[in-house]
C-alpha cells in the first residue's frame, strides 16, 4: 500500500524527543533480558503452573531470545525442587536457567540437589525488613559473605539481589553490594520490591550504584534492575534503569507478578528496541508468548494492554482512520507488523466516510466501485445509528457475567475449604468443651 508521506518526509514531520533528550547519554548497545515469569510471575495470586506449562514457556522464551530465566525456589518444597531439576535437565539451549535461594546453606543445598549451575541469592536490606527479621547490618553482611562463598565453593555462578534495596539506607546498600562482589557475585541486582521508585529516583540510584560501587572496583560488574508495578511505573523505571546503565532488566510476561505485577517483557523489549537498544528478542514472537502465558496463567489481559492487547492497534474514529490511511505513524508509534500484530479498524459511532470507504475496499474488496458521496453519507449514518441503538442493557448483562466468571478464576482456597483442612488435622488438639470440637 502506498502512503501519502515518504520516509524522507517522515523524518521532518515526526519530532523525536526521545532522541533529543538522550543524545548526550551513552546508551548501551544491547541488554540481556532476565525473565522472572516462572518465579515472581507465578506468585500472582491464585496462579499455579504445571510442570509441562513451565517447560513450554521456558522453551518458548529461550527460542525468542530471553537470556536468563528464573524458574523457581528449590528450597520451598520437594515438589518445587523436582520441578526445577526437571527443567534444568531439559537441556534448554540459548538460555541460562536460574534458581533462587536465601543466604542459607540449606537453600543453596537445595539448589545443588536441583542440578542448577547458576543461582540467585537474595535478602531484604531495608531497615524495616532488618527489624522484622531481627538482623543488624553486620549480621546481613556476614550472611551474604558466607553464603556466596559457600555457593562458589560448590561450583555455582552467583547473582546477588538486594531485595527492597530501593528503601535501604544507601551506605548499607553500598556495603551489601561490595560484600557480595568481593565474595564472588558476578552480577548485582537492585530490587524495587514494592514499586516505590519513579524514573528520576531510578536514575539517581543507578548512577550512585555505578559511581560508588562498580567504578571503584575497576572491573566489569553487570547490574540488573527488578521493578514492581504498584504505581504503574515498573516499565518506566526499568527503561530508566537501562538508560543509566543496567544491562540485565528483569521482566515478566504480560506484567504478571505479585500485587500489581512486574515490568512487562513485551513492553520493555519493544521500547528498548525503539530506542535503538538491542534486546536479542524476536519481536514477532511476542504475541504468541503473551497468548500462551495468558492461557497458562488463566489471568485475562485487558483489551487495552500495550503491545499485545486486543485494542493496541485498533481504530474506530473516522479522523484517526483517515489519518492512518495517509500514513500509519500519524496515530501509531510503531508498525504493528514489527511485533507480529495486525491493524484493526472498527465500525461504529465514531466512524466516518474514510472508514466506510476502507471497509468497502478491505472487507468487500470493491476497489473499483464509484459510489456517490451522498450514498457514502447514508451508509455512515446507518452505521452510526446501528451502533448507538445497540442495547446498553445487553452490554451490561454481558459485562456482569464476565465479572462474575473472572472472580471464579481469581479465587484461591475458600474459607470453607481452609477450615475443612484445619478441622481434619486439628481436632485432636481442640478441647472437648470447645464449640469447634467435632461431635462426630
Question: Residue 93: pLDDT above 80?
Answer: yes
Separation of alpha carbons 143 and 125, rounded Å: 12
Query: pLDDT class for 247, splitting at 50, 70, 90?
Result: very high
pLDDT value for 388 = 59
The three-state (H, E, C) secondary structure of 336-367, written as one string = HHHHCCCCEECCCCCCCHHHHHHHHHHCCCCC
Contact 158, 184 (CB under 8 A): yes
Separation of alpha carbons 382 and 373, rounded Å: 14
Predicted confidence (pLDDT) per residue in 321-377, tens digit: 667 667 777 778 888 899 999 887 666 555 555 555 555 555 545 445 556 666 666
pLDDT value for 236 = 98
- Tell me which H or E stretch contains 398: helix 392-409
SS3 of residue 52 by DSSP: helix
Separation of alpha carbons 299 and 44, rounded Å: 9
pLDDT value for 410 = 67
Question: Residue 109: pLDDT above 50?
Answer: yes
Residues sharing a CB contact under 8 Å with residue 108, sequence separation 6 or more, in sequence order: 101, 119, 121, 147, 150, 151, 154, 156
Contact 222, 248 (CB under 8 A): yes
Higher pLDDT, 390 or 126: 126
Contact 377, 340 (CB under 8 A): no
Residue with cell 548526550: 24
Residue with cell 528503601: 167
Is 308 buried (19+), middle (13-18) or exposed (0-12) by CB count in 10 A?
buried
Separation of alpha carbons 108 and 102, rounded Å: 8
pLDDT value for 317 = 60
Task: Average the pLDDT over 249-269 and give the result.
Answer: 97
Cell of 428: 485432636
pTM: 0.85
Is 187 buried (19+), middle (13-18) or exposed (0-12) by CB count in 10 A?
buried
Smallest CA-to-CA distance from 189 within 36, 53, 329, 318 is with 36
pLDDT above 70 coverage of the chain, percent:
83
Question: Residue 255: pLDDT above 80?
Answer: yes
Cell of 310: 486486543
Predicted confidence (pLDDT) per residue in 294-315, tens digit: 999 999 999 999 999 998 888 7
Residues sharing a CB contact under 8 Å with residue 63, sequence separation 6 or more, in sequence order: 94, 282, 285
Higher pLDDT, 361 or 234: 234
Residue ranges of the domains in the chain? Answer: 30-297, 314-388
Higher pLDDT, 368 or 58: 58
Q: Does domain 30-297 have CATH number 3.20.20.70?
A: yes
pLDDT value for 416 = 72
Indicate the average pLDDT of the chain. 88
Separation of alpha carbons 369 and 372, rounded Å: 9
pLDDT value for 366 = 47
Question: Residue 64: pLDDT above 90?
Answer: yes
pLDDT value for 43 = 85
Amino acid at each position: 500500500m502506498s502512503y501519502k508521506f515518504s520516509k524522507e518526509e517522515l523524518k521532518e514531520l515526526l519530532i523525536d524527543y526521545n532522541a533529543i533528550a538522550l543524545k548526550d547519554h551513552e546508551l548501551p548497545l544491547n541488554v540481556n533480558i532476565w525473565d522472572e515469569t516462572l518465579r515472581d510471575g507465578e506468585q500472582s495470586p491464585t496462579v499455579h503452573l504445571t510442570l509441562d506449562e513451565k517447560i513450554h514457556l521456558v522453551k518458548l522464551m529461550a527460542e525468542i531470545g530471553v537470556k536468563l530465566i528464573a524458574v523457581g525456589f528449590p528450597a520451598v518444597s520437594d515438589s518445587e525442587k523436582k520441578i526445577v531439576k526437571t527443567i534444568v535437565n531439559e537441556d534448554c539451549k540459548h538460555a541460562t536457567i536460574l534458581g533462587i535461594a536465601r543466604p542459607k546453606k540449606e537453600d543453596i543445598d537445595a539448589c545443588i540437589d536441583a542440578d542448577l549451575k547458576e543461582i540467585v541469592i537474595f535478602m531484604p536490606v531495608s531497615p524495616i525488613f532488618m527489624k522484622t527479621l531481627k538482623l543488624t547490618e553486620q549480621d546481613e553482611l556476614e550472611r551474604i559473605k558466607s553464603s556466596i562463598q559457600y555457593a562458589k565453593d560448590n561450583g555455582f555462578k552467583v547473582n546477588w539481589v538486594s531485595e527492597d534495596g530501593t528503601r535501604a539506607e544507601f551506605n548499607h546498600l553500598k556495603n551489601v553490594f561490595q560484600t557480595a562482589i568481593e565474595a564472588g557475585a558476578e552480577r548485582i541486582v537492585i530490587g524495587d520490591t514494592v514499586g516505590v521508585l519513579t524514573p528520576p529516583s531510578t536514575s539517581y540510584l543507578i548512577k550512585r550504584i555505578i559511581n560508588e560501587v562498580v567504578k571503584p572496583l575497576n572491573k566489569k560488574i553487570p547490574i540488573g534492575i527488578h521493578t514492581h508495578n504498584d504505581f504503574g511505573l515498573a516499565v518506566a523505571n526499568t527503561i530508566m534503569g537501562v538508560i543509566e546503565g543496567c544491562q540485565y532488566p528483569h521482566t515478566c510476561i504480560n506484567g504478571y507478578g505479585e500485587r500489581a505485577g512486574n515490568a512487562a517483557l513485551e513492553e520493555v523489549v519493544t521500547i528498548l528496541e525503539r530506542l535503538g537498544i538491542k534486546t536479542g528478542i524476536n519481536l514477532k514472537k511476542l504475541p504468541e508468548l503473551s497468548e500462551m502465558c495468558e492461557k497458562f496463567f488463566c489471568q485475562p489481559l485487558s483489551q487495552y494492554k500495550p503491545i499485545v492487547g486486543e485494542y493496541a492497534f485498533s481504530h474506530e474514529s473516522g479522523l484517526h482512520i483517515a489519518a492512518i490511511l495517509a500514513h500509519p505513524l500519524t496515530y501509531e508509534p510503531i508498525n504493528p507488523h514489527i511485533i507480529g500484530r495486525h491493524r484493526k479498524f472498527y465500525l461504529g459511532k465514531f466512524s466516518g466516510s474514510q472508514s466506510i470507504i476502507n471497509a468497502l475496499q478491505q472487507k468487500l474488496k470493491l476497489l473499483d466501485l464509484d459510489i456517490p458521496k451522498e450514498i457514502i453519507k447514508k451508509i455512515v449514518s446507518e452505521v452510526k445509528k446501528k451502533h448507538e441503538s445497540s442495547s446498553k442493557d445487553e452490554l451490561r448483562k454481558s459485562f456482569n457475567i464476565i465479572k462474575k466468571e473472572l472472580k471464579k478464576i481469581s479465587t484461591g482456597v475458600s474459607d470453607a475449604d481452609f477450615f475443612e483442612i484445619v478441622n481434619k488435622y486439628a481436632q485432636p488438639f481442640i478441647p472437648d468443651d470447645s464449640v469447634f470440637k467435632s461431635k462426630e
